[in-house]
């Protein structure tokens, strides 16, 4: 069977992260949504996404296809339902289509499918804040998926450990002279990852492959540090997708960072308003600030964005793609993509300069800044022009 993940109606609610990736490639828990489905289904998947992303994430269509809404996280119960779908059948949760079975030549529309009610609990990533809000539950599910019937690497005796049965070290993981408390949730240390001396970690926590916790880091779960990322200072209930750095002291709380981001030393995010009011976040769909229902919400930062040392982000700040923020004071709560500046105002970060930095940053990790990557960012630049002061 051929499985295809599609973006669905929530894509606009997951910007700025879906400017540069399909919904399926959002990381929540240890794995991305795509990796979860592929692990459960034991096969690869392709994608239905925006046209400008399709060059990098093409759709592979065969005679029979099961089309899955990537906003839904897989569970054993849901996967079983998906596998059992017959041609012309669709699984629905309330008004949302979860998955449907189509023949290519029949071009079955999900609205014409025989309606099957989804069984079990629906775990749905609908908003940017769901990424950190659902992270604890997702870490626990991924931990079970990845470690079942496997033996962890040995935990060094230099560490102080609580609930070691909930800690798993992959091959090549290094942890020395750290405090690991997995009594509140599992701790997963990926292949080649390192927790340096003096770090204090309370689960649920995931340190993905080749990521690093720097000396004396303080981590409150549920937190995920994605592949090849480096993190220091204090972090609480946050998700870092991958290849991003918060390498020094400073606080990051109830936040999400995309890929290729860098927070300068002593950058701090506020995750609670001083009047304890509900946090409002910039909403790309309505082009205004919208309520989240949350009291705690920090920073949402899109791919390739950076900030200088001592940057202060106010509660509920949204930073677009490839922005560069610096200077004294609090910048605005919404910083458009390709902005250059800070509280004193911003100008347009020209694409030639932004691409030059991206090429250098990615090259340091031996990853090419490809023509596909460049075309995606050029499209984002044009699509977000209306938000900037040119």
**Residue ranges of domains in the chain:** 2-126, 127-259, 274-390
Concatenating the DSSP letter of every residue in 154-175 gives: PPPTTSEEE-GGGEEE-TT-EE
Tens digits of pLDDT across the chain (390 residues): 999 999 989 999 999 999 999 999 999 999 999 999 999 999 999 999 999 999 999 999 898 899 999 999 999 999 999 999 998 899 999 889 999 998 765 454 666 778 899 999 999 999 999 999 999 999 999 999 999 999 999 999 999 999 999 999 999 999 999 999 999 999 999 999 999 999 999 999 999 999 999 999 999 999 999 999 999 999 999 999 999 999 999 999 999 999 999 999 999 999 999 999 999 999 999 999 999 999 999 999 999 999 999 999 999 999 999 999 999 999 999 999 999 999 999 999 999 999 999 999 999 999 999 999 999 999 999 999 999 976
Residues 6+ apart with CB under 8 A from 366: none
Handedness of CA 238, 244, 20, 353 (dihedral sign): positive
The CATH architecture one would assign to domain 127-259 is 3 Solenoid (2.160)
Q: How many CA atoms lie within 13 A of 212 on its CB side?
A: 13
Tokens of 329: 């004071």
As a whole number of angstroms, the longest Cα–Cα distance in the chain is 62
Which of 137, 139, 141 shows the shortest CA–CA distance to 76? Answer: 141
**Helix 33-41, helix 135-147: angle, nearest 10:** 30
DSSP annotation of 376 reads: H
Which fold would CATH assign to domain 2-126?
Answer: Spore Coat Polysaccharide Biosynthesis Protein SpsA; Chain A (3.90.550)
Report the predicted TM-score, pTM, of the whole model to 2 decimal places. 0.96
């Amino acid at each position: 069977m051929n499985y295809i993940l599609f973006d669905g109606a929530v894509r606009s609610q997951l910007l700025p992260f879906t400017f540069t990736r399909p919904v399926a490639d959002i990381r929540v828990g240890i794995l991305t949504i795509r990796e979860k489905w592929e692990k459960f289904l034991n096969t690869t998947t392709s994608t239905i996404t925006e046209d400008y992303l399709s060059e990098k994430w093409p759709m592979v269509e065969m005679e029979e296809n099961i089309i899955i809404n990537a906003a839904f996280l897989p569970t054993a119960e849901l996967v079983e339902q998906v596998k059992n779908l017959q041609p012309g059948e669709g699984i629905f949760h309330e008004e949302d289509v979860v998955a449907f079975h189509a023949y290519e030549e029949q071009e079955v529309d999900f609205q014409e499918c025989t309606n099957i009610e989804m069984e079990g609990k629906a775990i749905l990533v609908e908003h940017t804040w769901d990424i950190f809000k659902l992270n604890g539950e997702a870490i626990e599910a991924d931990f079970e998926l990845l470690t079942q019937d496997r033996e962890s690497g040995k935990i060094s005796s230099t560490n102080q450990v609580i609930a070691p049965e909930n800690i798993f070290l992959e091959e090549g993981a290094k942890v020395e002279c750290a405090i690991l408390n997995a009594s509140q949730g599992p701790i997963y240390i990926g292949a080649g990852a390192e927790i340096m001396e003096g770090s204090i970690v309370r689960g649920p926590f995931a340190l993905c492959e080749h990521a690093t916790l720097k000396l004396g880091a303080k981590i409150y779960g549920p937190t995920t540090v994605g592949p090849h990322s480096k993190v220091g200072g204090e972090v609480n209930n946050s998700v870092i997708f991958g290849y991003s750095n918060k390498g020094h002291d400073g606080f990051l709380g109830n936040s999400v960072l995309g890929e290729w981001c860098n927070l300068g030393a002593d950058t701090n995010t506020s995750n609670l308003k001083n009047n304890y009011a509900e946090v409002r976040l910039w909403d790309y769909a309505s082009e205004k600030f919208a309520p989240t229902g949350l009291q705690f919400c920090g920073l949402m930062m899109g791919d390739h964005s950076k900030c200088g040392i001592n940057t202060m982000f106010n509660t509920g700040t949204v930073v677009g793609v490839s922005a560069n923020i610096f200077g004294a004071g609090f910048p605005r709560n919404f910083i458009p993509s390709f902005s250059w500046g800070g509280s004193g105002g911003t100008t347009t970060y020209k694409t030639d300069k932004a691409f030059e930095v991206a090429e250098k940053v990615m090259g340091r990790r031996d990853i090419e800044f490809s023509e596909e990557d460049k075309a995606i960012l050029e499209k984002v630049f044009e699509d977000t022009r209306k938000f900037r002061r040119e």
